[in-house]
Amino acid sequence: MEKRDKVTNVFLSGVGGQGTILASNILAAVFSSAGYDVKKAEVHGMAQRGGDVTTHFRFGKKVYSPLIKFGDADYLLAFELLEGLRYINWVKDDGKIVLNNHKIYPPVVNLGEMEYPENIPDIFRRYFNGNVYVVEGVEIARRLGNIQAANVVLIGAFSNFFPEIKEELWIESIKSLIPERIQELNIKAFLEGRRALS
Amino acid sequence: MKKVVMQGNEAIARGAYEAGVKVAAAYPGTPSSEILRTLAEKYPEVYAEWSANEMVAVQVAGGASIAGVRAMASMKHVGLNVASDALMTFAYTGVKGGLVIVVADDPFSHSSQNEQDSRNWARFAKVPMLEPSDSQECKDFTKIAFEISEKFDTPVLIRSETRVSHSDSIVELGERVEPNIPIGLDPKEAPKYTMVPAYVRQRRIFVEERMKRLEEYADTFQYNVMEINDTRYGIISSGVSYLYAKEVFPDWSFLKLGMVWPLPKKLIEEFFKKVKKVAIVEELDPFLETEIRAMGFKIWHGKDVVPKMYELSPEKVEQALKGNKFKPPKIRFDTSNLPKRPPNLCPGCSHRPLFYALKKLGLFVFGDIGCYTLATSPPLEAIHTTICMGAGVGMAHGASKALGKEGPGKACAVLGDSTFLHAGIPPLMNVAYNKGNSTTIVLDNKTTAMTGHQEHPGSGYTARLEPTVAVNYEELGKALGVKSIRYVNPYNVKETMDIIREEVNKDEPSLIICKDSPCILLRRAKPLEKFKYRGYSVDEEKCRGCRVCLEINCPAISWIKQEGTTKDGHRRKGVSYINRDLCVGCSVCEQICKFEAIKPIEK
């Protein structure tokens, strides 16, 4: 398997309860099994209560900092559109962006005091041209029977960027982290996400 | 040995397990909670308990140490303030079995009421402190901390922080090895453990001598590591700050300190001899800087450029040391005006109607530490102080004494069940004893919710989920001398308001206990079963868009701008909308709607 020496930075963002932490755990399991050094950082606690959640995931030959340097993300994996836009400046010029086409209104929008930004995918396309990928994560997961699996749909889409990593390794890692009763659903969600971008 | 990806806290637990720890105690607090949880769930060889508070946790660990086993207590930074009374004197008595206290700081206060730098405790208590930077070090440093503790007869502090405790990296696992210390209590050792003045003065000498020996040990400590590369520039650092600095200046020289107290004087001297310009990169206080300056060294940069508050990051370290040469990445899109997304109480949370009731009553609310601090944000804005565990109860009493006859009906204290048991009992006893008239409301949600559902002495379960006795708050209140004790069901807004109004107006101490109000995420308590309907929806023919239902700040309710009229001809500027995916059917919005525009959805 071809190895990347340089450290690769993946920035994950979403809303507390969307499963960004599980998604980043899958990434850590996959890339450590593939022989890379990995580091991952997140904030627990208050962030679980519907606030914005970010996770920094890094892998490479040797990783020092658990945090990505501002402006140095190779990938942005956003589980919610506004939470993607909030971190647009973290991405490198030639970075790739995967957006879950899903809106969760924050309190100020619920109260009608502010508007939810329109056309977020287009804002990304303005700066990143063809490197913006929009995935119907929630719709796909709803069709499979549980919208909670949208996070794994996104991971499936994201997996396409790493052709050197075999599909089985992704599936094994998902199995190792998810309770048996919902494994089948999540593997389907992964495969659907993988097909959605390939 | 097997390598696995582990969170820093899990690695500290693993280190304790491999070191042969027999007794572990903790009170939950972000970012430290997973340490004890991991020990309770994964390592049956270790007795693990949630203690009533951090002070008790250190007492438990100290007692176990004196009985001859390795013992550990873990807590968040402010927890060590609570436990400091025990720490300061265990520093004199020393240990028998290794005694390690883990303290997890929270720079930037991601989930804390302050940003204190726990390294100061090591200097203050005259005990050694280790500071790991990643999960492998979390495990290794925990193991060696027990050896240091026994070798030098001292408690050892391990300082973690959010980015160490809550980061994951690869750890190589080892075997559990139990130490060879005779277990048992020996009354002949009383002079060592009985800190009455005569014995204190003996141990005081020992403490100073121990510090000298520890200073010498620091110079040879295997995790104080010098990396000589480019000798023009060097950085002295520790913990996660080292990783940030190493990330942005990989070619510079480094002195990485695994032990941040006491400092290795000879090693530092050697580093200054070998490297021309030495900077000190540390988060929060100028702790290393102050000490190294006091040793007489001239440093190139420290807190003159490195921020002394909030957490560091690779770019902050780079910017600090490069100064004008630092080129920040371009801001392609201004994100500063995007709608913010602060954390919120969950849909169906029992705190929401309770705080709505307090707001409607116009009370000044002395708050405390827990999920209910989320009721601070608009539009609820129903908490007016948050200081420390238990503070609200004591403060409400103080305020009532200050207000005198003007007091009744103006204020109340509010705190959670776990917080009440942690630090709320002495101040409530104080209200009754000192003839106060303040009202204390215990929001009993049957768990320590904010930190992720840990058990406590009122939950009925131990850390290992074995059923056990549970505190009866009513009986406890009576025993403390409170005569007026009432229960409220917070999901009944009107009744809750009536009862609170009566109690706060009484000229005697009151205790109000929320009942049938478990955390909405606590599956064991089946919190949804008591709700009659599976959810609610807005009847658009009746909704006048008055926005009253928005006052409870429920994530399921939004308001959509849309001019129109109701069926009976009232003009409106918009309508409310309930998200069915989020609504759990708590009925609070239905109760406060003045136009019967919120309708149940049958189960």
DSSP per position, B453-477 = -B--TTTSB-TT--B-----HHHHH
Q: φ, ψ for residue B360 (rounded to 5)?
A: -60, -30
Q: Does B558 touch chain A (CB under 8 A)?
A: yes
Q: φ, ψ for residue B51 (rounded to 5)?
A: -85, 165
Domains and CATH numbers, chain A: 8-197 (3.40.920.10)
CB-CB neighbors (< 8 A) of A112 in chain B: 547, 550, 558-561, 574
Q: Edge to edge, what strands does the sheet with B230-238 contain?
A: B225-227, B252-257, B230-238, B277-281
**Partner-chain contact B338 A117, CB within 8 Å:** yes
Best of B162, B166, B168, B281 to disrupt the A interface (most A CBs within 10 Å) is B168
Output B117-120 pairs: Cβ under 8 A, ≥24 positions apart: B117/B283, B117/B284, B117/B285, B117/B287, B118/B77, B118/B80, B118/B157, B118/B159, B119/B159, B119/B260, B119/B261, B119/B285, B119/B287, B120/B285, B120/B287
Task: Quick: pLDDT tens for B121-153.
Answer: 999 999 999 999 999 999 999 999 999 999 999
Nearest-angstrom CA–CA distance, B369 and B380: 17
User: Which pLDDT belongs to residue A3?
Assistant: 67
Which residues of chain A carry a pLDDT beneath 50?
none
User: Which pLDDT belongs to residue A131?
Assistant: 97
User: Which pLDDT belongs to residue A46?
Assistant: 59
CB-CB neighbors (< 8 A) of B243 in chain A: 64-66
Write the single-letter amino acid at A52.
Answer: D
Name the residue in chain A with its Cα closest to that of B136.
A39
Q: How many CB atoms lie within 10 A of CB B501?
A: 14
User: Which pLDDT belongs to residue B282?
Assistant: 98
Record the tokens describing residue B124, joined without a space.
């203050």
**Partner-chain contact A105 B558, CB within 8 Å:** yes
Q: φ, ψ for residue B171 (rounded to 5)?
A: -130, 135
Nearest-angstrom CA–CA distance, B169 and B8: 8
Mean pLDDT on B385-393: 98
C-alpha radius of gyration, chain B, whole number: 27
- Smallest CA–CA distance, residue A69 to chain B, in Å, is 5
Query: What percent of chain B is predicted at pLDDT more than 70?
Result: 100
CB pairs under 8 A between A and B: 171
Where do the H-state alpha helices sit in B94-132?
119-125
Interhelix angle B265-274/B197-220, nearest 10 degrees: 30
Cα→Cα distances B88→A148, B207, B302, B520, Å: 48, 11, 30, 40
Nearest-angstrom CA–CA distance, B23 and B69: 7
Mean pLDDT of chain B: 97
- Minimal Cβ distance to A51: which of B169, B333, B341: B341
**Partner-chain contact B346 A50, CB within 8 Å:** yes
Q: Does B374 touch chain A (CB under 8 A)?
A: yes
Contacts of A7 (CB under 8 A, 6+ apart): A58, A59, A60, A61, A62, A63
Contacts of B125 (CB under 8 A, 6+ apart): B84, B87, B88, B91, B155, B157
Q: By C-alpha distance, which of B586, B601, B537, B598 is closest to B350?
A: B586
Record the tokens describing residue B420, joined without a space.
């009440």
Q: Does B162 touch chain A (CB under 8 A)?
A: yes
Record the tokens describing residue B475, joined without a space.
């009986």
pLDDT band of B32, cuts 50, 70, 90 = very high
With a cut of 90, say whether residue B231 has pLDDT above it: yes
Map tokens 């064991």 to a residue.
B524
Nearest-angstrom CA–CA distance, B384 and B66: 44
Task: Quick: pLDDT tens for B468-496.
Answer: 999 999 999 999 999 999 999 999 999 99
Q: Residues 76 to 115 of B: which have CB under 8 A from any A CB?
A: 110-111
Identify the H or E element spanning A44.
none
User: Which pLDDT belongs to residue B603?
Assistant: 66
Domains and CATH numbers, chain B: 3-218 (3.40.50.970), 225-322 (3.40.50.920), 351-527 (3.40.50.970), 531-601 (3.30.70.3270)
Q: Is the peptide bond before B31 cis (omega within 30 degrees of 0)?
A: yes
CB-CB neighbors (< 8 A) of A51 in chain B: 341-344
User: Which pLDDT belongs to residue A50?
Assistant: 77
With a cut of 90, say whether residue B266 has pLDDT above it: yes
Task: Quick: pLDDT tens for B417-471.
Answer: 999 999 999 999 999 999 999 999 999 999 999 999 999 999 999 999 999 999 9
Assess contact for B292 and B280: CB atoms under 8 A: yes
Mean pLDDT on B553-573: 93
Q: Edge to edge, what strands does the sheet with B259-261 contain?
A: B47-50, B23-26, B71-76, B99-105, B156-161, B129-130, B259-261
Task: Quick: pLDDT tens for B305-344.
Answer: 999 999 999 999 999 999 999 999 989 999 999 999 988 9
N-to-C CA span, chain A: 20
Q: Does B584 touch chain A (CB under 8 A)?
A: no
Record the tokens describing residue B24, joined without a space.
């572990």
**DSSP strands (E only) in B47-106:** 47-50, 71-76, 99-105
User: Which pLDDT belongs to residue A45?
Assistant: 56
Mean pLDDT on B590-603: 94
Nearest-angstrom CA–CA distance, A184 and A191: 11
Q: By C-alpha distance, which of A95, A90, A106 is closest to A158?
A: A95
pLDDT band of B575, cuts 50, 70, 90 = very high
Assess contact for B67 and B96: CB atoms under 8 A: yes
pLDDT band of B602, cuts 50, 70, 90 = confident
Task: Quick: pLDDT tens for B175-195.
Answer: 999 999 999 999 999 999 999
Record the tokens describing residue B452, joined without a space.
């992720």
Map tokens 């005006």 to a residue.
B337
